[in-house]
């Protein structure tokens, strides 16, 4: 699709930004400026949802003790302890997973546009979900599963996948894509 006024190089650059997003689990002690954080939050506010129901609210956590406590509430959540900010996605209920994922991805991309790294943490098992609810005063009928750690990457190595044991890159297109029917 040709975007009016944009040449091929500009279109390629747009895709490269999205492809450059990485999960960051080690953060610098640098605080996120209030105006930048508000810009990131505003982008998230504009995330699309099913029938524009906007089934979410967000708890912004900057308190070091709360961040450390949240880091204990998920099997892979330890990176929350070192984050500058955590965004706790509070859903209307636990049946909004697609909308929850859309919101998380938009926050992550918005943060990355400002050079801020991010990583998802999932609150689990259910006893930890309850602990997170109590810590943050979230009503029991609300869904609380996803927390995003935000912060500036600790150093360039914090962006390198091979250091985390994760294989870099993606499957070839031929292994990813099927046209018209699934061909195995």
pTM for the predicted model, two decimal places: 0.86
- Give kind and range of the element (H or E) at residue 58: strand 56-61
For the chain, helix, strand, coil in percent to 5 are: 45, 15, 40
What confidence tens digit (pLDDT) does each residue in 66-81 have? 999 999 999 899 999 9
Indicate the range of 15-19, 99-103, 139-143, 148-152 predicted with least confidence.
15-19
Q: Above 70 in pLDDT, residue 27?
A: yes
> In residues, how long is the chain?
184
Query: CATH classification of 37-153, choosing from 3.40.1190.20, 1.10.533.10, 3.40.109.10, 3.90.1150.10?
Result: 3.40.109.10
Mean pLDDT, residues 47-54: 95
pLDDT tens digits along 146-184: 999 999 999 877 776 555 566 667 788 888 888 888 876
Please report the pLDDT score of residue 141 as a whole number. 95
Name 15's Cβ contacts closer than 8 Å, sequence gap at least 6: none
Rg value, the chain, Cα: 18
Closest CA to 131 of 141, 140, 120, 119: 140
Q: Who contacts 30 (Cβ-Cβ below 8 Å, separation ≥6)?
A: 84, 151, 152
Q: Mean pLDDT across the chain, nearest whole number?
A: 89
Which pairs count as long-range contacts for 169-174, CB under 8 Å and 24+ apart, including other chains?
Answer: none
pLDDT, residue 3, reads 47
Residue 51 clears pLDDT 80, i.e. is over it? yes
* E strands in 81-142: 85-91, 117-122
pLDDT category at 1 given cuts 50, 70, 90 is very low
Using one digit for the tens of pLDDT, what is the confidence trace for 56-67? 999 999 999 999
pLDDT band at 4 (very low <50, low <70, confident <90, very high): low
Residue 46 scores a pLDDT above 70: yes
CA distance 16 to 97: 27
Task: Find, among 87, 82, 85, 89, the residue nearest to 68 by Cα.
Answer: 82
**Comparing C-alpha atoms, which of 89, 83, 129, 84 is closest to residue 105?**
89
Q: What is the pLDDT of residue 164?
A: 55
């Amino acid at each position: 699709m040709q975007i009016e006024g944009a040449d091929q190089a500009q279109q390629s650059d747009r895709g490269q930004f999205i492809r450059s997003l990485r999960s960051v689990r080690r953060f610098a002690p640098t605080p996120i400026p209030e105006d930048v954080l508000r810009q990131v939050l505003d982008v998230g506010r504009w995330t699309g949802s099913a029938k524009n129901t906007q089934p979410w609210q967000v708890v912004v956590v900057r308190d070091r003790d709360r961040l450390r406590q949240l880091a204990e509430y998920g099997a892979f959540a330890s990176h929350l302890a070192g984050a500058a900010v955590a965004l706790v996605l509070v859903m209307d209920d636990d049946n909004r997973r697609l909308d929850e994922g859309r919101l998380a991805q938009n926050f992550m991309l918005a943060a990355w546009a400002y050079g801020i790294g991010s990583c998802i943490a999932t609150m689990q098992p259910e006893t930890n979900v309850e602990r997170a609810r109590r810590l943050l005063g979230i009503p029991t009928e609300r869904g609380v599963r996803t927390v995003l750690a935000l912060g500036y990457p600790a150093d360039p190595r914090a962006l390198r996948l091979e250091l985390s044991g994760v294989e870099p890159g993606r499957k070839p297109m031929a292994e990813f894509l099927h046209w018209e029917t699934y061909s195995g």
